[in-house]
Structure 1
């Protein structure tokens, strides 16, 4: 089971978006074979807040659409559990509401699809996917499209 803690720093996210993202990520976790109790957090911020995080963690001084902060280090399969009854923490996702709105307009698709895409993209990062190399990027982006299409959020 996937537990998601949502935090809206913008006070602008409708409960329907939260519900949709929760359903998309639970669906994706099932498709990815994520077993056991797992937890992650999603925080919605504005462009200036995500720019500060991007500058501090990636040394890129500009806003971005989404940031992922995995708890597992590269090559690690499992975090040591403090208590076997506690869920495994996958990591944190930060989404810029401003960028999501801009990109939904730019790509001419719904805000629902954009939020779902960004959240799914980050979940795949938390699960170890990457897009540093071209072959990895193709694999990751195909996986995203397959999951979104199967869920019913096709690109229009």
Structure 2
């Protein structure tokens, strides 16, 4: 898996964020039985930048903890068969052949505030946000209670598989 991580904040987390992002992203891909090598981009940034991105792409003028920008138009979450049709070439990097899953943006301030609010570590909060976003990149959502329960269950299992608990 090719993961490009950009850190655009003067606020340093002081945790091995690259290692956490990589192991959670890989475990989520493994959990979903993704048959491809994949590429994602992860931006760790501040609340101001997250607010800009949220306003620009979702038309919501507020900060948020994580934004997901999927590249694949999944019909159903985790159904990689959509990539077998004749249009699927647009989902793969022309040079590497990696599946272009999409981009993730995470607020460093939200990692801190939510870890404190939920009474767990910065590592666990970052891992949760990455797992959450990875499932969005693989076509899952939480628009209704049923979808939310499915997605939450998958996130929990990925974190449990890695021994990352509250």
State the TM-score, normalizing by the size of structure 2.
0.86
State the TM-score, normalizing by the size of structure 1.
0.92
Structure 1 unmatched ranges of 5 or more: none
Q: Is residue 23 of structure 1 aligned with residue 23 of structure 2?
A: yes
1:68 is aligned to 68
How far 1:74 sits from its partner (Å)? 4.1
How far 1:16 sits from its partner (Å)? 1.4
2:152 is aligned to 141
Distance in 1 (CA, whole Å) between partners of 2:41 and 2:59 is: 23
The within-5 A match list for 1:5-44 is: 5-11=4-10, 12-14=12-14, 16-44=16-44
1:4 is aligned to 3
How far 1:32 sits from its partner (Å)? 1.0
Taking a change above 3 Å as real, the CA distance of residues 83 and 66 of structure 1, as seen in their structure-2 partners, is: same
How far 1:99 sits from its partner (Å)? 0.7
RMSD: 1.7
1:114 is aligned to 125
Structure 2 unmatched ranges of 5 or more: none
Question: Which of the numbers 103, 106, 111 marks the counterpart of 1:100?
Answer: 111
* Greater displacement, 28-37 / 45-54: 28-37
Q: Is residue 88 of structure 1 aligned with residue 99 of structure 2?
A: yes
Distance in 1 (CA, whole Å) between partners of 2:117 and 2:15 is: 24
Runs of 4+ in 1 over 3 A off after TM superposition: 81-85
How far 1:82 sits from its partner (Å)? 6.1
Q: How many residues align?
A: 154
* Greater displacement, 137-146 / 75-84: 75-84
